[in-house]
């Protein structure tokens, strides 16, 4: 996988990507191969037409490619990257979800980890009610089920 | 005109005017008979009256304007609030079919509705103020108030229809008077229906610790099922504070079983309730265990650990490769040698690449990623089998080629709790917690006066965030 430390290949070869809402993007190979999917495509020979990505919308794809661009830049320091990532992932829940699912679909490990950790940070330390509120989740337990779960983990709740 | 609840006074004429409402302190007398006419919302009408104290009745709710949370029954109508408030307020989305809400306090059973908190309504502006901070109505969360600023809870009982005309203040809780009522599955402040968790949440579960996973289990059915059935989440179990003092043998077995036999790394830090038999049950059902870390688990015995390792060996299983036992009972030389043999310590890389272990004030429990077979070793000075620390000080490293002469256990070589350097031949200060600080670290403390010899009250909080003492009686 092309890591951020390897020199950017100036082959000039670009990949054409098409989002599910028909937005087209052109990216350099060195940037695109942050995604394992594209990496394998590049290694096996790229297809002619634009690569369709039916699971990613244009807005999200644009963000993802922006992230890939930054991470493919060999001149950037680790500190700068960390700062960039912190700002990049500080987004609304809906955008965060889209980024996470796109990173999973495109198999971009670092971005997936970044997004997952952000979601995890939003969960950590909260009570079940607070988690429900934060993520807009309906409590679909019956009273009996709720009691059963509470009892199962009662040891962890006590003082 | 803004209405201050903390005043607990009627602020408008409640004489049948559409612009009227009144507020009553929970324990206060009514503010005039006309207001009482509005008193369909009297708590007495909906259930058992609260027990009130006559004297308390006469006291103002918040005489000193301290914004103390007070419980006030709101008796009156809010329809004028609806009319006056901006459309910027979002609907509380009250659904008749979803009326059941937990009465979190029980005390308010039978109340019509209850405002817990001191807030100012500014209905004409569509905002709520607390302590001078404005909260736009659309800032309300699922509890109807922005709980970052308030612990206000709305609870109501009885005539739901009355509230249908009320202003939009996020969610209202309808109390059935029973604490065991289900929590309300209300629409959230922005009007979006509550639903099942997004797929993205399930990806994030792998980044949560045990305590958070157990909390997530209680959120909804799909998360519960995922937490319980996804063995990958339980492949590596790490129990630390605050769970370490609570976890029992049974609880540990239940958690380990969730790995469905694939448990690879088990880390129990200071789990004082875990016994030999409890740990044995877990080990027996998880033959793929590679790393076992039980520092500070004082009920465990080395003999029992040896039995477990021998059992692995006898069945030809690869067995445990990494063992961390610092802090359990003292290990004899014979036991240590057998442990090394059973762990195949000779084949480990730590022989060639010794990793520096620096003292840091908290027990230096090596993580599951560390490559060495066993954490303890013979202290070069006292020859007991304990954690032995290296020295980060350059002067110590410069003097000796192979091992630092100060390399020893913490008893033989006291060290600075902050940087880990030895303090045997240096000046040092003792903190309030009886830890030692070298002078460099001492001077760097935020409150430290830059004078030698001053022994003011030391502030050791920056170095030791948590101090706790465990008393274990076993025999």
**pLDDT for B230-247, tens place per residue?**
999 999 999 998 999 999
Name which of A1-15, A67-81, B198-212, B278-292 the model is least confident about: A1-15
pLDDT value at residue A159: 65
What pLDDT sits at residue B346? 64
Average pLDDT, chain A: 88
In angstroms, what separates the C-alpha of A66 from chain B's closest C-alpha?
A: 21
**Which of the residues B148, B189, B207, B250 would you substitute to probe the A interface, choosing the one with the greatest number of A C-beta atoms within 10 Å?**
B207
pLDDT at B445: 74
Contacts of A158 in chain B (CB under 8 A): 246
A142 Cα to chain B: minimum distance (Å): 8
Is A97 in the B-facing interface, judged by CB distances under 8 Å? yes
Residues of B with CB under 8 A from a CB of A: 141-143, 180, 182-183, 185, 188, 192-201, 203-209, 211-212, 214-221, 223-224, 243, 246-248, 251, 254
State how far the Cα of B448 lies from the Cα of B90, in Å rounded to an integer: 52
Tell me what pLDDT residue B88 has: 41
pLDDT at residue A47 greater than cutoff 80: no
A136 touches chain B (CB under 8 A): yes
pTM for this prediction: 0.62
pLDDT under 70: residue ranges of chain B = 1-54, 56, 67-192, 345-355, 361-370, 397-404, 447-475
The model's pLDDT over A100-155, given as tens digits with 9 standing for 90+, comes to 999 999 999 999 999 999 999 999 999 999 999 999 999 999 999 999 999 999 99
Q: How far is A146 from chain B (nearest CA, A)?
A: 7
Which residue from B9, B21, B19 is spatially nearest to B62, judged by alpha carbons?
B9
Cα B92 → chain centroid:
30
Report the pLDDT value the prediction gives residue B279, as an integer from 0 to 100. Answer: 94
């Amino acid at each position: 996988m092309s890591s951020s430390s390897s020199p950017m290949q100036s082959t000039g070869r670009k990949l054409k990507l098409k989002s599910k809402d028909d937005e087209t993007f052109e990216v350099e190979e060195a940037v695109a191969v942050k995604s394992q999917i594209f990496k394998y495509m590049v290694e096996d020979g790229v297809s002619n037409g634009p690569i369709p990505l039916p699971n990613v919308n244009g807005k999200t794809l644009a963000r993802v490619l922006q992230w890939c661009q930054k991470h493919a830049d060999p001149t950037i320091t680790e500190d700068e990257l960390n700062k960039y990532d912190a700002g990049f992932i500080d987004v609304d829940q809906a955008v965060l979800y889209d980024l996470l699912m796109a990173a999973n679909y495109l198999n971009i490990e670092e971005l997936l980890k970044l997004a997952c950790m952000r979601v995890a940070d939003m969960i950590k330390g909260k009570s079940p009610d607070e988690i429900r509120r934060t993520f807009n989740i309906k409590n679909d337990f019956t009273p009996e089920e709720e009691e059963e779960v509470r009892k199962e983990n009662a040891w962890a709740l006590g003082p | 005109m803004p209405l201050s609840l903390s005043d607990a006074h009627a602020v408008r004429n409640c004489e049948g005017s559409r612009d009227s409402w009144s507020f009553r302190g929970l324990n206060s007398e009514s503010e005039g008979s006309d207001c009482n006419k509005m008193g369909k919302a009297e708590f007495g009408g909906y259930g058992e009256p609260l027990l009130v104290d006559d004297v308390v009745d006469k006291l103002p709710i918040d005489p000193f304007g301290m914004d103390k949370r007070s419980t006030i029954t709101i008796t009156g109508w809010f329809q004028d609030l609806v009319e006056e408030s901006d459309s910027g307020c979002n609907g509380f989305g009250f659904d008749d079919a979803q009326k059941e809400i937990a009465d979190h306090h029980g005390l308010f059973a039978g109340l019509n509705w209850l405002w817990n908190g001191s807030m100012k309504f500014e209905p004409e502006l569509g905002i709520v103020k607390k302590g001078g901070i404005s909260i736009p109505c659309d800032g309300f969360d699922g509890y109807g108030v922005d709980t970052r600023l308030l612990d206000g809870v709305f609870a109501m009982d009885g005539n739901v229809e009355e509230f249908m005309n009320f202003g939009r203040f996020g969610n209202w809780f309808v109390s059935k008077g029973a604490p065991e009522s289900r929590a309300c599955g209300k629409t959230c402040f922005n009007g979006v229906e509550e639903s099942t968790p997004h797929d993205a949440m399930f990806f994030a579960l792998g980044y949560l610790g045990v305590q958070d996973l157990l909390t997530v289990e209680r959120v909804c059915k799909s998360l519960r099922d995922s937490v319980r059935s996804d063995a990958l989440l339980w492949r590596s179990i790490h129990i630390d504070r605050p769970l370490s003092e609570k976890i029992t043998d049974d609880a540990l077995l239940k958690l380990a079983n969730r790995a469905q036999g694939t448990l690879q790394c088990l880390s129990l830090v200071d789990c004082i309730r875990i016994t030999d038999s409890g740990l044995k049950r877990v080990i027996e059902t998880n033959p793929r265990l590679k790393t076992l870390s039980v520092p500070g688990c004082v009920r465990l015995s080395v003999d029992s650990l040896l039995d477990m390792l021998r059992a692995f060996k006898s069945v030809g299983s690869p067995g445990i490769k990494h063992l961390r036992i610092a802090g359990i009972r003292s290990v004899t030389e014979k036991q240590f040698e057998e442990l090394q043999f059973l762990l195949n310590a000779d084949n480990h890389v730590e022989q060639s690449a010794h990793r520096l272990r620096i003292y840091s004030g908290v027990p230096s429990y090596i993580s599951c990623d560390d490559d060495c077979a066993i954490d303890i070793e013979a202290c070069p000075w006292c020859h007991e089998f304990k954690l032995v620390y290296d020295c980060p000080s350059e002067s110590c490293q410069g003097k000796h080629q192979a091992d630092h002469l100060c390399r020893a256990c913490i008893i033989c070589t006291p060290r600075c709790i902050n940087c880990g350097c030895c303090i045997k031949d240096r000046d040092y200060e003792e903190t309030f917690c009886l830890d030692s600080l070298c002078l460099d670290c001492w001077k760097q403390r935020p409150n430290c006066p830059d004078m030698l010899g001053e022994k003011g009250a030391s502030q050791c909080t920056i170095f030791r965030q948590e101090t706790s003492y465990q008393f274990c009686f076993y025999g």
